[in-house]
Structure 1
């Protein structure tokens, strides 16, 4: 006997109320949200692939939304309905009520039934097979939506679940699930199953990943009662479809997920109101000639404007192309919170000129503190509160869903700036990793200072680049300079993912620095570029100043005027220098006392923001006038440069702030770090008046004691930088009188990091042991990353491999290393 039920009777959400939100209404809600998000979260390239994949059965947008809506089909079971047996029995009647009553009291004995996400996959697979889909397609689609609580399902999990006939309800409830799905098809005017060519449907892994991500995000938004009030069991479903569509549009609007729409004219001068430098012009030409997906690697000295070049390229890549659809997104990743804050200001300024309604998100652990301290917090509606997301499972799922809609986890926002950790998390086998991938899939991803990552992070980054290539994501990498081997690794990783097989790039390692590397599906090439007058023919005099003489020498240098920076490798050295300077300055005549600034990464967010603001006002770039014919409005700032000043800090001075000094004192560090620090001397060219005695660029290296057995450095320096790199750097610089940039840069980098490093004095016997220790450490770091990272992306890869043996997504850096 065929028992028909009212499909409005099974409840989907109840909360503490007796008024249900029917399961079919939640399916309609989720479908409506997915249709809105289809253009906003899924890239134009993947939308095109989805359109092609679903063409045998109809229009991709609606079919994708349909599968998103089926994610909770497993709730149509006696076990789930029994969680509120009082409501379910009243609404569903017999024979459903009998099956519900026969189940044990789960409140008393605990849950022993199949989680509804798993049961969704168990129900969907045979249903699609009956409709004509192949076994692989049915399994893939079932797993993609059944894993919406964060984990794709293992074969043994599904096999065990299929045996739970009692709490599933048997054939009767199975038939009701099919009736439920077919009624949703009818409500949304989709073809009957018998009218679609299911046997021709093929969905590859990249599309399944974004389908899974879209399912979870749509479910979270649809689960907020503020967006979709509970409809009650007597709802008119035909009318509800229209109502849900309007509610979905309003729900997404409140999230302010407005697609980034760069202006139609994306040339550099149009965006920034100034003529591009040669490197910026070359980047503009490359992106103008090549279509996405594209990888760019820009290697140029500090101060050349790599950030602006990347933003211009990203704007060009995000612009509409024929048939690609509107808009796009951007994630700008930096190595530290301080550099994220700096980039946030610059990107917000650009976006606000052309699209002020689009809020740029800042993503790192202290972003809220920074924004409050800066008094730049954007107006936001009350945070989205998904409810009953996993009512029959892990309560942490609802909390995690809410986190995705805060600033700390706002990777879904169209334009965001934050630390590289947010990108690296997308490479770790972890809960909801597919949501991270979906968030990145519709963006241009820019990664700054890519030379700054240790082997652990670099190994993780290589795997993420494979996946970004696999998803067709354009990537822009910025660096002061890279060893040739590292440049090849980055290009190989991305192109391997894009093409689906290992591709060793044939890059020309002899191309002079500065340079631009680009890669597409068809080609990869490195080409030379040129530096501006600011960085052309920079000759940095190198001198040595003993620790015990540094304070007196430094005060003598600025006595006649000038601004100096002191960069130490450790906070304890900053504190020691600060104390010595304060004592010495107190003994000077008032008219000769320099202003003293101190900044480290250990300052509170509020104190850090205040110091950074003082530093920008004193040593930042000068204001520039608006150009009358420029379409963009340039926000003018003021620089109040002191007559004499000393800034003492850690590596935050190395790259976090756009500051200009007349003189640099630095602890010994690996050559790439020293090159970064050197970029802070005369960074703004002739924009600031220079004291005559500091007209020449000077690097004073301190904290090094020369011995026959090698350089003696301050205690604990080895915990900051590997001895092999600092000693090789000293071998290059100990007898050197000057460093010429850009001419010497590439050679210096290769002699420290390349396969044939500099030859060191024979007495430095500890260097051989240090090199072996370094290699062992690098091997261990790479192994540790490989234990965590995602498998190699393949078009036919089982989804379960993405979340199998899941790890914490927070393991983006080696334990004990600074964030």
Structure 2
């Protein structure tokens, strides 16, 4: 469950790797040594007296819980574990700092690393831990376990050589916690009866552990020996896919891969091929694909399953998002294994070798929270793919950059996908990962102007970033998107007119209320048409119940997917879910004005799979904006979704522009809106200045909000408790207000 870099650090805790391999499992097994104390034993007083006899009665009486007291008042055994392990290692000769870090890693197995103050407090509570006598008994137990496991005796170990780096500490803490979960499951290890032959039992444990790992679906994925694109997908790669395949064919170390290409060029399949290749080359256990929404997660899971099916591979793909159910684990494979379902929890779901879900599940690894180290360790052993990285606001982007730092520090290979990534964002994302690898702040990573035009593929190592130019497929060459503008009052008539010409039209509104209004108005008008002339009307937005939404997503794929059976005429009214990653193809599109990158992304759904004269010109019709002398007017509440200045800058570029040429103009337009100089149109100056100030304040607030809950920079961590102290809710991966999808 640990990535190669983390495993390497654990193997080096002693100069002799064999010694490390012996002591790391033993350390994990000591996580409950704190239960060997009066405070815990007295919870079942009569049994404790029977087992310990006269020697312990006085100590047990001191901490015995009064009759009738319902709640537990014993000291947390994780803290007592930390206290004993720290003292024991120091007595054996380990350095104080190392002994502290090992003790924190073991004592944090219930999710939160014990802080120094808590350990000091526990030391003063002699009645709880039992003093020197109980400490001696605990150490004797450790020695007995070491003998049973064939671990070298502590007297023969040079403990001053023991070192525990931060990656090693994360790995040790995660291994300890997961070992606890596995061993505590009585279906894996039954409780021992008194008088059992411990020598015989110890010899049987390895086989039981192996069986448990297999049963729980934690075994590493075995990718095919040939991981080239044609083997995986039974088709020739497109130009971008070929560049990705070549750029990642001979890797000796973890990398961050950035794929920038227009919608429809197959970035998702390129990422799956690169991830599969990296799994084989770098020895990680599998991959996790992080998508912007539940809908796109569901679709990506189907795409991964299709790839595996072509390979004859029955490895289940874990679906990880808030709307997923336990039965989604292996659901399509007919696997009703109760043990597998029991592992589908928020904290354990990332342990499966192959996973797909929302980006939120990965971003939780950047938040100070219980068991965050398990999430990080699980991600360290995967290739982590982030789709649509241009689509996240400042708040989520701040969390993403901090997560990338940690993934870099843990040696996790990462793949970033985007159709429209501003130059500044590209550098920030690469710099965050590289800073983690180098052990420095991102500000120390210099920005280098891109020598390669869009589309491009960037491969970043710890020390450099190499860009590779890529062509586009014939479908996306010289793609001219014709622009026009209509008012809100024209929307319904325009849509019905387009549908009457036997076209399939997509409508993307920025607000659910607008989508519902348009849908209801269309439904009323369509009901008045003769049945033979009625277009199919479909709604997809964030207010639909989960079950209905899944059905609508499947209907959309059946009608407008690559292999779909298209209706003669149709109108699909939706929100941003139509923009991001659903692989759909429409004849023409009406869209609310959105920032330039979102508009380009939306336009990628126009004639995505096939272009010919019968479908007419590629047309993107913009609505949701009214020109006024003092500046454009937008629908109410839209600033909760997009910053008005981004809409103003986009409209200043596009309002008199007849078309956009893709891909040649894409990168320039995106950089202009997000960082270039745009002339403020006459009369807009006051509103322009006001909204620029609003955006600066908004970004400052969102950045500050994310900083209150994310992890410290890896190279700044001195005490493991910094990762779980003042824990925050992992539900805070998104701003409370924002897009409804």
Q: Which interval holds the TM-score relative to the shorter structure? A: over 0.9
* CA drift at 1:713: 2.0
Structure 1, 182-191 or 239-248: larger mean CA deviation: 239-248
Which string of whole-angstrom CA distances, capped at 9 and with x for unpartnered residues, describes residues 14-33 of structure 1? xxxxxxxxxxxxxxxxxxxx
TM-score between both structures, scaled by the size of structure 2:
0.96
Residue 218 (structure 1) aligns with = 179
Which string of whole-angstrom CA distances, capped at 9 and with x for unpartnered residues, describes residues 474-507 of structure 1? 0100011211111111111100110112342443
Q: Does 1:352 align with 2:309?
A: yes
* CA drift at 1:556: 1.9
Residues 681-760 of structure 1 correspond to what in structure 2 (within 5 A)? 681-686=606-611, 692=614, 694-760=615-681
Residue 63 (structure 1) aligns with = 23
Contact 1:83–1:106 (CA under 8 A) maintained in structure 2:
no
Residue 399 (structure 1) aligns with = none
Structure 1, 280-289 or 90-99: larger mean CA deviation: 90-99
Cα distance in 1 for residues equivalent to 2:291 and 2:691: 29
Residue 365 (structure 1) aligns with = 322
CA 1:580/1:796 → structure 2, altered by over 3 Å: closer, same or farther? Answer: closer
Contact 2:404–2:433 (CA under 8 A) maintained in structure 1:
yes
Residue 149 (structure 1) aligns with = 110
* CA drift at 1:337: 0.7
Cα distance in 1 for residues equivalent to 2:458 and 2:340: 42
* CA drift at 1:464: 0.6
SS in 2 for 1:71: coil
Contact 2:290–2:384 (CA under 8 A) maintained in structure 1:
yes
Q: Does 1:127 align with 2:83?
A: no
Which string of whole-angstrom CA distances, capped at 9 and with x for unpartnered residues, describes residues 193-247 of structure 1? 1111221111101110111011111101111122222112211100111233232
**Of 346, 365, 372, the match for 1:426:** 365
* CA drift at 1:108: 4.2
Structure 1, 127-136 or 209-218: larger mean CA deviation: 127-136
* RMSD after superposition: 2.1
Cα distance in 2 for residues equivalent to 1:431 and 1:90: 36
Q: Does 1:51 align with 2:11?
A: yes
* CA drift at 1:285: 1.1
* CA drift at 1:685: 2.0
**Of 152, 155, 161, the match for 1:194:** 155
Cα distance in 2 for residues equivalent to 1:107 and 1:641: 73
Residue 565 (structure 2) aligns with = 640
Cα distance in 2 for residues equivalent to 1:315 and 1:684: 25
* CA drift at 1:327: 5.1
Residue 695 (structure 2) aligns with = 774
SS in 1 for 2:258: strand
Residue 382 (structure 1) aligns with = 338
Which string of whole-angstrom CA distances, capped at 9 and with x for unpartnered residues, describes residues 753-810 of structure 1? 1153453334342121011011101000001111111111028622111112221122
Residue 27 (structure 1) aligns with = none
Residue 619 (structure 1) aligns with = 560
**Of 401, 404, 425, the match for 1:486:** 425
CA 1:369/1:148 → structure 2, altered by over 3 Å: closer, same or farther? Answer: closer
Residues 387-398 of structure 1 correspond to what in structure 2 (within 5 A)? none
Q: Does 1:98 align with 2:58?
A: yes
Structure 1, 258-267 or 491-500: larger mean CA deviation: 258-267
Q: Does 1:282 align with 2:243?
A: yes
Residue 675 (structure 1) aligns with = 600
SS in 2 for 1:468: helix
Cα distance in 2 for residues equivalent to 1:185 and 1:409: 29
Cα distance in 2 for residues equivalent to 1:233 and 1:164: 31
SS in 1 for 2:474: coil
Residue 388 (structure 2) aligns with = 449
**Of 79, 86, 99, the match for 1:138:** 99
* CA drift at 1:105: 2.1
Residue 406 (structure 2) aligns with = 467
Cα distance in 2 for residues equivalent to 1:568 and 1:107: 64
Residue 266 (structure 2) aligns with = 305
Contact 1:261–1:327 (CA under 8 A) maintained in structure 2:
no
**Of 491, 513, 523, the match for 1:550:** 491
Q: Does 1:783 align with 2:704?
A: yes
CA 1:106/1:246 → structure 2, altered by over 3 Å: closer, same or farther? Answer: farther
Contact 2:279–2:286 (CA under 8 A) maintained in structure 1:
yes
Structure 1, 227-236 or 731-740: larger mean CA deviation: 227-236
CA 1:378/1:478 → structure 2, altered by over 3 Å: closer, same or farther? Answer: farther
SS in 2 for 1:319: helix
Contact 1:367–1:408 (CA under 8 A) maintained in structure 2:
no
Structure 1, 268-277 or 507-516: larger mean CA deviation: 507-516
Cα distance in 1 for residues equivalent to 2:140 and 2:679: 73
Contact 2:629–2:683 (CA under 8 A) maintained in structure 1:
no
CA 1:801/1:133 → structure 2, altered by over 3 Å: closer, same or farther? Answer: same
Cα distance in 2 for residues equivalent to 1:236 and 1:54: 32
Contact 2:260–2:418 (CA under 8 A) maintained in structure 1:
yes
Aligned residues: 737
Cα distance in 2 for residues equivalent to 1:49 and 1:104: 43
Residue 79 (structure 1) aligns with = 39
Cα distance in 2 for residues equivalent to 1:254 and 1:57: 29
Contact 2:258–2:458 (CA under 8 A) maintained in structure 1:
yes
Contact 1:352–1:358 (CA under 8 A) maintained in structure 2:
no
Cα distance in 2 for residues equivalent to 1:669 and 1:69: 55
* CA drift at 1:377: 6.7
CA 1:642/1:775 → structure 2, altered by over 3 Å: closer, same or farther? Answer: same
Contact 2:680–2:688 (CA under 8 A) maintained in structure 1:
no
CA 1:757/1:460 → structure 2, altered by over 3 Å: closer, same or farther? Answer: farther
**Of 324, 344, 355, the match for 1:416:** 355
Residue 7 (structure 1) aligns with = none
Contact 2:384–2:414 (CA under 8 A) maintained in structure 1:
yes
Residue 11 (structure 1) aligns with = none
CA 1:810/1:605 → structure 2, altered by over 3 Å: closer, same or farther? Answer: same
**Of 187, 195, 198, the match for 1:234:** 195
Which string of whole-angstrom CA distances, capped at 9 and with x for unpartnered residues, describes residues 405-459 of structure 1? 4378511111110111111111111111111111111011000000111101111
Residue 659 (structure 1) aligns with = 584
* CA drift at 1:355: 5.9
Cα distance in 2 for residues equivalent to 1:219 and 1:360: 25
Contact 2:286–2:354 (CA under 8 A) maintained in structure 1:
yes
* CA drift at 1:473: 0.3
**Of 509, 517, 532, the match for 1:568:** 509
**Of 435, 441, 448, the match for 1:507:** 448
Cα distance in 2 for residues equivalent to 1:249 and 1:795: 37
CA 1:106/1:331 → structure 2, altered by over 3 Å: closer, same or farther? Answer: farther
Residue 761 (structure 1) aligns with = 682
Structure 1: gaps of 5 or more residues: 1-40, 386-401, 623-638
Residue 317 (structure 1) aligns with = 278
Contact 2:314–2:333 (CA under 8 A) maintained in structure 1:
no
* CA drift at 1:655: 1.6
SS in 2 for 1:539: strand
Residue 17 (structure 1) aligns with = none
* CA drift at 1:656: 4.0
Residue 345 (structure 2) aligns with = 406
Cα distance in 2 for residues equivalent to 1:384 and 1:671: 44
Q: Does 1:536 align with 2:477?
A: yes
Cα distance in 2 for residues equivalent to 1:346 and 1:85: 57
Which string of whole-angstrom CA distances, capped at 9 and with x for unpartnered residues, describes residues 657-709 of structure 1? 211111111111111111111000010024xxx673x4210011122221111
